[in-house]
Amino acid sequence: MQIRVLGCAGSIAAGNRTTSFLVGRELLVDAGTGVGDLRLDEMAAIDHILVSHSHLDHVLAIGLLADSVTRMRRSAGRPPVLVHALPPTIEALRTHIFNGVIWPDFTRLPSADAPVLAFRPIAVGQSLELAGRRVEVLPAMHTVPACGFAVFDAQGGAWVYSGDTGPNPALWQRLAGMRVRMLIVETAFRDEERELARISGHLHPQRLCEELSALTQPAEIYVTHCKPGELDGVMTQIAAQGGTHRVHALVSGQVLTLDERAPLELQP
């Protein structure tokens, strides 16, 4: 299973794109500004969008993608792109974006009978079959209703994305029962900004390492959602904490491969 990191920054600047991952060809996980790096035919191939929460850096490209692919998908007789999200997230998208003021309602365009987008509600703990893969909706703790996702390969190994989250015991409890091969976990702030991280529902390096101590199985860990210019500082502080997991910085443009055959070991 291949995952293209279209964007993984907490905001924008040159070389920084906000959160979006393309799993295979048809499954998009979050829809930040990184979606804009896809070719038109790559956008048109996407049949499912998983949305972790309603914040702009994760949903900005949904409406723009819909506008870009309408003609191509309509001429090919393709069904609507299904947007899977928690009910409060769907309500926020309908009310604040697809309202005819901020952006046209593409759940009714080009026609109500054949729209280019359709919303599908999901729930934490739910298991989905999307684009030939099993997906589980995971808990997240943020300032708005939020979730993460686990996408499983054919051998049952999981690529896990935490979504935006602060301390989250329920996540680690669930991951203890999974074969986690790769974990994308957010760390939005440095330790000096731990209070801002707390009130905004994010992690900082010390808290990340405390959270990771609950993951007793070996897994490749990638840090996401750092603000532009902050990645080196965050990673230095994470390294200073020590720990038993290999922790890497995620960068836009990476292609991650989930290889169930490759053994993983905890660091000594």
Q: What pTM did the predictor assign? A: 0.95
How distant, in Å, are the alpha carbons of 62, 149, 155, 219 from that of 263?
Answer: 37, 23, 13, 10
Angle between helix 231-241 and 205-212 (nearest 10): 50
Q: Model confidence over 125-142: pLDDT tens digits? A: 999 999 999 999 999 999
- The pLDDT value given to residue 261: 57
- The pLDDT value given to residue 216: 87
- The pLDDT value given to residue 262: 57
CB 246 within 8 A of CB 217: no
**How far is Cα 204 from Cα 207, in angstroms, rounded to an integer?**
5
Q: Model confidence over 180-210: pLDDT tens digits? A: 999 999 999 999 999 999 999 999 999 999 9
Domains, the chain, with CATH or none: 2-257 (3.60.15.10)
**Residues of the chain falling short of pLDDT 70:** 260-268
SS3 of 124-187: the string is: CCCEEEECCEEEEEEECCCCCCCEEEEEECCCCEEEEECCCCCCCHHHHHHHCCCEEEEEEEEC
- The pLDDT value given to residue 242: 83
- What does DSSP assign to residue 79? P
**Among candidates 165, 131, 156, 121, which has minimal Cα distance to 22?**
131
